[in-house]
Amino acid sequence: MRTVATFADVRKGDRGSVALVPTMGYLHEGHLDLISAARRSSDTVVVSLFVNPLQFNEDVDLAAYPQDLARDAALAEQAGADMLFAPPIEEMYAEQPLTSITVAGVGELMEGDHRPGHFDGVAVVVAKLLAGIQPDRAYFGRKDAQQLVLVTRLGADLSFPVEIIGRPTIRERDGLALSSRNIHLSEAERGAALSLSAGLAAAASAVEEGETDAATLEEIARARVDAEPGAHLEYVTLASQADASALPALEVPAFLAVAAGVGTTRLMDNVHIDRVDGTWVPDLGSRLDRPSILYGEA
Ligand code: PAF
């Protein structure tokens, strides 16, 4: 695997079909799943690693974001990447961009509401990665469900010749959704954090039993988080997979998303709900059968 720092170097040579896995580093099994899927689909697998300042609302959050290039390079290589694109800030933003991208509607609720400007920053960096790397496919985790909707619309609206592929969430054995931010959780906070996945699992069971009302599903998930004194709910919303708008009921493919603060860490999780043979089927993703690499490093 080669580590390169410029878009020009990423595009050099005969690449065949190209898959991109955009990351902000501190890789975990969720990213490794994206890289393995990319490996199966394409001749050249590029993993990008760039902690994008445009998408952080607070400088402390940006400063606290874990970074370890040597660690990530080893993991990306093991998972099958051909190239690690780790650009310096000057390659990405030689000047403060004057162009802004707002994916109207999609970025307004949920994360958009709680993190003003966040999705505009994501949209700009993803557009730059797609334009600069020119992949045929780009892989994103469904864990960031609203981001996946946003990126899918961005790609379609701006005619990027790329297929956007979402992959199911990967979880710890106990259900906690993998996130690089989990390394900031203390043991007690990890316990409190489980209220998010427990709430979603309870709502998923209700869906399996035929519940389709948004307020009811949201209340089931909310009750679990509210019962946990260490978790502070920000929102729980049933939203459309097509445009991330809030839904009154399960009537189109949806996701039930939850966000909460646990200590100083913000956590997000969701369950995707698709219609299969006329029945609503929830998908919480999959659980590892061993502690994740992040857990060992917490
Ligand atoms: O999901 C992430 O890690 C980031 O938001 C992304 C897509 C790499 C853009 O910086």
Q: What is the DSSP string of 16-75?
A: -SEEEEEE-S---HHHHHHHHHHHHH-SEEEEEE---GGG-S-HHHHHHS---HHHHHHH
Burial classification of residue 176, based on how many CB atoms lie within 10 Å of its CB (0-12 exposed, 13-18 middle, 19 or more buried): buried
Question: Model confidence at 298, in pLDDT bands (50, 70, 90)?
Answer: low
Residue 23 Cα to ligand 1 midpoint, Å, equals 5
d(CA 297, CA 184): 10
Confidence of residue 4 (pLDDT cuts 50, 70, 90): very high
Rounded Cα–Cα distance for residues 160 and 35 (Å): 21
* pLDDT tens for each residue of 179-194: 999 999 999 999 999 9
Nearest atom within ligand 1 for CA of residue 151:
7
Asked if 256 contacts 218 with a C-beta cutoff of 8 angstroms, the reply is yes
- Of the chain, the percentage scoring pLDDT greater than 70 comes to 99
Active site residues: 31
Report which residue type is found at 207.
V
Instruction: Decide whether any atom of ligand 1 lies within 6 Å of the 24 Cβ.
Output: yes
**pLDDT category of residue 113 using cuts at 50, 70 and 90:** very high
Would you state the structure tokens that stand for residue 161, as one six-digit string?
């010749």
Residue 206 predicted with pLDDT over 80: yes
How far is it, in rounded angstroms, from Cα 94 to Cα 276?
47
Instruction: State both tokens at 280.
Output: 């609503």
What distance lies between CA 31 and its chain's CA centroid? Answer: 9
HSE-up of residue 46 (Cα within 13 Å, Cβ side): 29
For ligand 1, whether the C-beta of 146 sits within 6 Å is: no
> What is the percent of the chain with per-residue pLDDT over 90, rounded to a whole number?
94
Q: What is the DSSP letter of 268?
A: E
- What pLDDT is recorded for position 297? 72
- Domains parsed from the chain with CATH numbers: 2-167 (3.40.50.620), 180-295 (3.30.1300.10)
Question: Tokens 């260490």 sit at which residue?
Answer: 230
Work out the angle at residue 148's Cα, subtended by the Cα atoms of residues 6 and 197, and round it to the nearest 5 degrees.
120
Residue 73 pLDDT level (bands cut at 50, 70, 90): very high
92 sits in the region (left: phi over 0; alpha: psi -120 to 50; else beta) called alpha
CB-CB contact of 75 with 27 (8 Å): yes
Over its C-alpha atoms, the chain yields an Rg (Å, rounded) of: 19
Predicted local distance difference test score (pLDDT) of residue 107: 87
Task: Please list, residue by residue across 148-162, b when 16 or more beta carbons sit within 10 angstroms of its beta carbon and e when fewer do.
Answer: bbbbbbbbeeeebeb
Cβ 111 under 6 angstroms from ligand 1? no
User: Beta partners for 164?
Assistant: 138
Q: Which of 52, 143, 270 to mutate to test the pocket of ligand 1 (most atoms within 8 A of CB)?
A: 52
Three state DSSP letters for 219-240:
HHHHHHHHCCCCEEEEEEEEEE
Q: What is the pLDDT of residue 59?
A: 83
Q: How far is CA 14 from CA 17, 18, 134, in A?
A: 9, 10, 13
State the DSSP H helix or E strand holding residue 161, giving kind and residue range, or none if neither.
none
Which is it for the CA torsion 208, 213, 219, 221, positive or negative?
A: positive
- Pick from 33, 51, 93, 126 the residue to mutate for probing ligand 1's pocket: most ligand atoms within 8 Å of its CB: 126
The per-residue pLDDT for range 126-161, each reduced to its tens digit, is 999 999 999 999 999 999 999 999 999 999 999 999
Task: Give the containing element (helix H, strand E) for 126.
Answer: helix 118-133
By the 8 A CB rule, do 47 and 35 touch? Answer: yes
Q: Which is the closest atom of ligand 1 to the Cα of 126?
A: 9
